[in-house]
Structure 1
Amino acid sequence: MSTDSGSLPGVSAVIPAYNYAHFLSAAIDSILQQDYPNVHIIVVDDGSKDNTAEVVAKYGDKVEYVYQDNAGLPASRNTGIRAAKTPFVAFLDADDLWLPNLVSQCIGVFADNDDSLGIVAGKFVRVDPEGKPYGKVTRDDDFYGFYRPEDIILKQRFGASAVMVRREVFDEVGFFDVSLTSSEDRDMWIRIGAKYKGYLTEDVLGYVRNHPNSMSKHSDRMKQNMRAVIRKARASDVIPKYNYPFWLRVIAFNMFQCAWMYFDERRYVRASVELTKSLLTWPFIVGCADLDEPPLFRIRALRRFLWAIVAGPRRPKNA
């Protein structure tokens, strides 16, 4: 981009890092390769025991390094927000990657709207531990544009690693909830959506890395925190508490999601129980198009879960 960086609004890119030194260089490099010049990188080291500090030191004054005692991912993001001195803050987890146009795309959307727009997010593609894309956009292909708080309450539509927020928004809605050990980003997007407009781009702007140590691999913890976020949203009255059809639908779909997490851990009985509870909670068609799911997706999933129980644990092909 040929425009002088001084004439462009600054963006702080916050990378919370905990024992991910082996991924961190790729994350930092993906920010340095942005086609938008006015980006300040802040790495928040959350008490790492690996060589995270050494990795950051190699970049010199290109990266600001902030160390804190281990306090968790939400606290690390909050530390980064407090350190940010720019009008916009964007987030990238240490094991993920930005595409080169993420910042320019998000800034462009902000430039086309007034201050009522508080957050812009991009779609992402999952990649393997080596960074090779699996090929499928992981959030709803047809869901983009301005979204409502109920869209995020019903289903997580985007992750934290392709999101930009006006810095002043956090002064009004507060920081990430440190009592949550996952799903704290979804909680934040709901809170922002209750006071500001939100926009999801049609384009893929980031890569999210799948690997064994990923936080999303812990289903019991994910379930507990997802339910806590739903309870917080209902208590906030952003959608009236007496809108029982909506909230039953939210819980039913969350149970469906939890069922798949248990299935992926080969806890087939637990998965079947959770899915049965989903059907009993809201036996009607939950809605396919706006959830990016195929027709009768819960019935089809239950059939697969029950078959897994009957067939027993999967065995390696060469066993």
Structure 2
Amino acid sequence: MSGYGVVIPAFNASTTIAETLQSVAAQTVRAELVVIVDDGSTDDLASAIVGADLPVKLLRQDNAGPGSATTRGIAALSTPFVATLDADDLWLPTKIGAQLAYLERSPQTAGVFTHQRNFRHDQPDLPDPTATPGWSRTTMVIRRSVADAVGPIVDPPGGRGEMIDWIARVREAGFALDMLDEVLALRRIRPGSLSYGRDGARDRGYLEVVRAAMLRRAQNRQGSG
């Protein structure tokens, strides 16, 4: 089975990243390298990752957003497959093994995602019983060659929607993405995280993502006209 690396963008994640790394270390297929990109944190992230039973590389940058941090992390890997993960989410132990096996059986597939369940930060043992398709950073494993071809993950205003935009660009480039039926990831919901609640300034990012997709479609129509 081909090797893979992991990219974790992290911003003030010192209270959760140790548990996240434990879930990476528990995978049935071991990662060749885990790149953590500290996106301008003000907490002591370095101390929080000490003792991880993993080959870890910590990079630091001024705060630029999770898309920028993820892009930098991917550039630091040389593995044929790249898995990405938010610094407060968790993988179940068979996640990566199932995804790599699927990609090796399906050479026409560029990337594969899994279903996920939410859990509350203060109730880690009570995941939401409702599973949803996880078109997200935490559930993605993608071929490195595809990530290189599509280009940077762009952070929209407000810090939300960068993965929606990038996944759309992968599809627009003609690459196939698939979804596994199994729930293999847990998404943490906590106050202060980008996934918590509604926020007008942050949600503007989603509007920018929709606008960018519409502009790309219009340009493609003009180019083919």
Match of 2:192 among 189, 213, 216: 213
CA distance in 1 between partners of 2:19 and 2:32 (Å): 16
Does the aligned pair in 1 maintain the 2:32–2:55 contact within 8 Å? no
CA distance in 1 between partners of 2:149 and 2:25 (Å): 30
Structure 1 residue 232 and structure 2 residue 212: aligned? yes
CA distance in 2 between partners of 1:31 and 1:69 (Å): 26
- Where do 5+ consecutive residues of structure 2 fail to align? none
- Give SS of 1:65's match: strand
The answer to which structure has the higher helix fraction is 1
The amino acid that maps onto 1:225 is G
Does the aligned pair in 1 maintain the 2:86–2:137 contact within 8 Å? yes
The amino acid that maps onto 1:108 is A
Q: Which has the higher relative contact order, 1 or 2, with Cα contacts under 8 A spaced 6 or more apart?
A: 2
Query: Which residue of structure 1 lines up, in the alignment, with residue 135 of structure 2?
Result: 158
Alignment of 1:1-319 (within 5 A): 8-59=1-52, 62-114=55-107, 116-130=108-122, 131-132=124-125, 133-139=127-133, 158-180=135-157, 181-194=159-172, 195-216=174-195, 217-237=197-217
Q: TM-score, normalised by structure 1?
A: 0.64
Partner deviation per Cα, 1:154-195 (whole Å, 9 max, x = no partner): xxx622111111111122111101344211001111111122
Give the alignment's Cα RMSD to 1 decimal: 2.1
Does the aligned pair in 2 maintain the 1:182–1:221 contact within 8 Å? no
- Give SS of 2:190's match: coil
CA distance in 2 between partners of 1:137 and 1:61 (Å): 29
The amino acid that maps onto 2:46 is A
The answer to which structure has the higher strand fraction is 2
Question: How far is the alpha carbon of 1:112 from its aligned partner?
Answer: 1.0
Q: TM-score, normalised by structure 2?
A: 0.89
Partner deviation per Cα, 1:121-157 (whole Å, 9 max, x = no partner): 0010001104231221134xxxxxxxxxxxxxxxxx6
Bigger radius of gyration among the two: 1
Structure 1 residues 212 and 241: alpha-carbon distance in aligned structure 2, compared to 1, 3 A threshold: farther
Residue identity over aligned pairs, in percent, reads: 27
Does the aligned pair in 2 maintain the 1:234–1:241 contact within 8 Å? no
CA distance in 2 between partners of 1:238 and 1:15 (Å): 34
Partner deviation per Cα, 1:280-316 (whole Å, 9 max, x = no partner): xxxxxxxxxxxxxxxxxxxxxxxxxxxxxxxxxxxxx
Displacement over 6 Å in runs of 4+: 238-242
CA distance in 1 between partners of 2:112 and 2:211 (Å): 25
Structure 1 residues 13 and 99: alpha-carbon distance in aligned structure 2, compared to 1, 3 A threshold: same
CA distance in 2 between partners of 1:161 and 1:99 (Å): 11
CA distance in 2 between partners of 1:10 and 1:30 (Å): 18
CA distance in 1 between partners of 2:21 and 2:120 (Å): 18
